[in-house]
A and B are shown apart, each in its own frame.
Chain A
Amino acid sequence: MTLPLDAMLLQQLVNGLTLGSIYALIALGYTMVYGILEMINFAHGEIYMIGSYLCIIFLGIFTYFGLTQSHLLLSLFLVAILSAVTCAGYGIAMERIAYRPIRSAHRLSPLISALGVSIFLQNYVMLTQGSSDKVFPHVFPISSNSFGAFPITPIQLFIIVSAILLMAGLHFFVQKTSLGKAMRAVAQDKMMASLCGIPIDRVIVVTFVIGSMLAAMAGVMVSIYYGVTSFYIGYVAGMKAFTAAVIGGIGNIPGAMLGGILLGMIESLGAAYVSSEFKDGFAFIILIFILIFRPSGLLTKNA
């Protein structure tokens, strides 16, 4: 017997998967930094916001020089790379200025510092780019053609596929390369890792760079997906991505991927079938249940 999957459900599932891929990419940054520094990097959402702005700014520049009209895919690729590199620069600056000097201080100090960075970056973007929403330049031939009866737009497909590729790349990096191995060692025991000759500072910087690049990619995707961005999107997205990281088990990389996609699904299904007003609340209600019944997250073994 085949279940009749109605079109709306399918549509919501695809939307959820798209949203979830974006959450998952941001969640990875939270979870990696937490795994290594045991600190909630509250300013991570702002990196994502900056990524979404950079995408629009760079695309604007490319359109001005006529590159998007002639080579659309190449210019999108370049925009993504440039945004990721710039965001990595922001990540490094953030780590050096706000976190490294107080790494050994009380647990709450980096938190306050992170909030300071977050407020600063939001206002910096608002002041330099204006407080109104930033609209994406029209570069795409807008086509809503779905693949047969399957309700997925090319942009959604592009987001899901590139998120999967990025996550696979990250998995390969963490599991197979020597830097990835160093990262896992630092996450397990900083002291021991440094005794084994692993340069802790460099590993931490690399963590911030990768986290920021993934967040930048998420920002680029969200700009393309919604066609608009504003300076306050980092806060809500950051909260949700963080929730996703916790659902999967914070500090656990596959957990963040799973948590992000689950969260995106639950949100879009919940908004469609339960209540769209409480859309932002589902995440937290689920979070509280998970924390009560499985405090260490879905994918971690109970210690």
Chain B
Amino acid sequence: MQMLSSFKTILIGSLWCGLLVIPFMGVQGALLVAAVLVMGAIGYQTIFRQWALGRFSKMGLLLSGVYSRLRTPVLGRRFWGIGVVALLVVPIFLNNYYLDILTLALLYALLAVGLNITVGLTGLLDLGYAGFYGIGAYAYALLSTKWGLSFWLGVPFGAVIAASFGLLLGVITLRLRGDYLAIVTLGFVQIVYLVLNNWDSLTNGPNGILQIKQPEIGSFLLEQPIHFYYLALFFLIVALFVVYRIAYSQMGRAFCAIREDPIAAEAMGIDTTRMKILAFVLGAGVAGVAGVFFAAKYTFVSPESFTFFESVRILTMVVLGGMGSLFGAVLGAFLLTFLPEMLRGLDLYRMLIFGATLVLMMMVRPQGLLGTSHK
């Protein structure tokens, strides 16, 4: 009986969508869409659901076993060890194309781990993360092209400059709560973009800044993709270590307390305002480092890389991986970097599928792949 009613829902839903697309795709296209939807939904109901419940085969059971291991809050050291060794060894077998994608994935993982402090641990919705990322990148780009600052000094500089903007934004927004904070951060990333795009005398406007210095160790210039790969891996491991230590320290517990219940946290003697600003500053600092790395790797920055959409992309990684889970942030970053690449063959349909995947993902697992928080 329940089966029957769910089939009815599928039919009505598919017809509904079919009707909606008529003005855009014509009657034939609409019929096609409706047919695909019906088949897809029935397939999901009959096959995928059974499989996901672990009834289909031993394979499903095995996968769900691994999966629940991964979801434990404190991930075993062994997992991390295997992951790090794999990431150290793998690039030897890859060509430059895959190395570049993998480096990009590591860079996004770094950003996601940073944003995870603000959004995942402390529960502050930061939509302006790309602003800090851009500030870090432009800080290094300007300092290195105008004053010849070296990369190794650029990293702390970028981090400090981005973090001070984080402090500024944190102080401005400390009175705001919840969604208002999200809106101000959204405004922040828009303003950063507009300034980068229009302050021609400093930032060279939409043309961006070219010929940024690449990092060097002694007289050895880091310029090959593999060099940048290991550099990114180094940054990611350091960031993971630092954030891991923070998350399980007194400070991290305070962050989580604020996320779960700000009023109770305040009652327990946590200085919530200070902690919130601190979470902002820490996240922004990591974004600054990532920005400096970005500028050094591509030797070119332009405002287009630091739009609101970039913020959304990083946020999506954090949420998709599972809020508050470090491993989740890394996993989300890898998935969302590789998924569009894998879909590259589908070219035009890439972003369409990406959007649909986000919606489906939220339908199936709203708390993210490895998330445990149910608030």
Tell whether B359 is near chain A: CB-to-CB under 8 Å: yes
Minimum distance in angstroms from A83 CB to a CB of chain B: 9
Contacting pair A105 B359 (CB below 8 A)? no
Q: Which of B89-97, B157-165, B360-368 is the contact stretch? A: B360-368
The answer, among B198, B367, B373, for a CB contact under 8 Å with A278, is: B198
Contacting pair A119 B355 (CB below 8 A)? yes
Contacting pair A89 B16 (CB below 8 A)? yes
Number of interface residues of A (CB under 8 A): 56
List, in ascending order, chain A residues with CB within 8 A of B17's CB: 93
Q: Which of A96-104, A153-161, A175-183, A188-196 is the contact stretch? A: A96-104
Most chain A CB inside 10 Å of its own CB: which residue of B180, B184, B355, B356: B355
List, in ascending order, chain A residues with CB within 8 A of B19's CB: 89
The answer, among A92, A101, A288, A291, for a CB contact under 8 Å with B363, is: A101
List, in ascending order, chain A residues with CB within 8 A of B178's CB: 107
Minimum distance in angstroms from A34 CB to a CB of chain B: 8
Q: Which of B21-29, B214-222, B247-255 is the contact stretch? A: B21-29
Tell whether A118 is near chain B: CB-to-CB under 8 Å: yes
Tell whether A1 is near chain B: CB-to-CB under 8 Å: no
Contacting pair A125 B24 (CB below 8 A)? yes
Tell whether A128 is near chain B: CB-to-CB under 8 Å: yes
Tell whether A62 is near chain B: CB-to-CB under 8 Å: no
Tell whether B175 is near chain A: CB-to-CB under 8 Å: yes
Minimum distance in angstroms from A104 CB to a CB of chain B: 9
Contacting pair B172 A288 (CB below 8 A)? yes
Tell whether A295 is near chain B: CB-to-CB under 8 Å: yes
Number of interface residues of B (CB under 8 A): 55
Contacting pair A112 B24 (CB below 8 A)? no
Residues 124-164 of A at the B interface (beta carbon under 8 Å): 124-125, 127-129
Known: A108-B319, A112-B358, A128-B29. A40 touches B23 (CB 8 A): no
Residues 155-193 of B at the A interface (beta carbon under 8 Å): 172-173, 175-176, 178-180, 182-184, 186-188, 190-191
Contacting pair B316 A115 (CB below 8 A)? yes
Contacting pair A119 B358 (CB below 8 A)? yes
Contacting pair A102 B362 (CB below 8 A)? yes
Contacting pair B366 A295 (CB below 8 A)? no
| A-B contact list, 17 entries, CB within 8 Å | A54-B23, A57-B23, A89-B20, A98-B362, A105-B362, A106-B366, A111-B319, A112-B319, A112-B361, A112-B362, A115-B312, A116-B359, A116-B361, A129-B24, A277-B194, A287-B183, A288-B188
Tell whether A58 is near chain B: CB-to-CB under 8 Å: yes
The answer, among A57, A98, A291, for a CB contact under 8 Å with B183, is: A291
A127 to B349, CA, bound (A): 8
A115 to B29, CA, bound (A): 25
Interface of B is mostly: helix
Contacting pair B358 A108 (CB below 8 A)? no
List, in ascending order, chain B residues with CB within 8 A of A265's CB: none
List, in ascending order, chain B residues with CB within 8 A of A40's CB: 179, 182
A90 to B19, CA, bound (A): 10
A212 to B325, CA, bound (A): 36
Contacting pair A108 B375 (CB below 8 A)? no
Contacting pair A116 B356 (CB below 8 A)? yes
Minimum distance in angstroms from B330 CB to a CB of chain A: 18
The answer, among A98, A119, A124, A288, for a CB contact under 8 Å with B184, is: A288
A116 to B353, CA, bound (A): 9
Q: Please name the residue on chain B nearest to A285 by beta carbon.
A: B191
Tell whether A75 is near chain B: CB-to-CB under 8 Å: no
The answer, among B13, B172, B356, B374, for a CB contact under 8 Å with A120, is: B356
Residues 64-88 of A at the B interface (beta carbon under 8 Å): 86
A288 to B188, CA, bound (A): 9
A94 to B249, CA, bound (A): 42
Q: Please name the residue on chain A nearest to B119 by beta carbon.
A: A108
List, in ascending order, chain A residues with CB within 8 A of B357's CB: 116
Minimum distance in angstroms from B178 CB to a CB of chain A: 8
Chain A proximity mask over B203-216: 1 for CB below 8 Å, otherwise 0: 00000000000000
Q: Please name the residue on chain B nearest to A288 by beta carbon.
A: B187
List, in ascending order, chain A residues with CB within 8 A of B183's CB: 242-243, 246, 287, 291
The answer, among B16, B20, B198, B358, for a CB contact under 8 Å with A277, is: B198
The answer, among A58, A96, A105, A106, for a CB contact under 8 Å with B13, is: A96
Q: Please name the residue on chain A nearest to B169 by beta carbon.
A: A288
Contacting pair A284 B191 (CB below 8 A)? yes
Minimum distance in angstroms from B123 CB to a CB of chain A: 9
Tell whether B351 is near chain A: CB-to-CB under 8 Å: yes
A34 to B179, CA, bound (A): 10
Contacting pair A281 B191 (CB below 8 A)? yes
List, in ascending order, chain A residues with CB within 8 A of B351's CB: 119, 122-123
List, in ascending order, chain B residues with CB within 8 A of A34's CB: 179
Contacting pair B355 A287 (CB below 8 A)? no
Most chain A CB inside 10 Å of its own CB: which residue of B17, B179, B182, B354: B179
Contacting pair B320 A57 (CB below 8 A)? no
Tell whether B342 is near chain A: CB-to-CB under 8 Å: no
List, in ascending order, chain A residues with CB within 8 A of B355's CB: 115-123
Closest 4 CB pairs of A and B: A116-B358, A120-B355, A119-B355, A105-B366
Q: Please name the residue on chain A nearest to B205 by beta carbon.
A: A277
Tell whether B3 is near chain A: CB-to-CB under 8 Å: no
Tell whether B86 is near chain A: CB-to-CB under 8 Å: no
A105 to B322, CA, bound (A): 13
Tell whether A292 is near chain B: CB-to-CB under 8 Å: yes
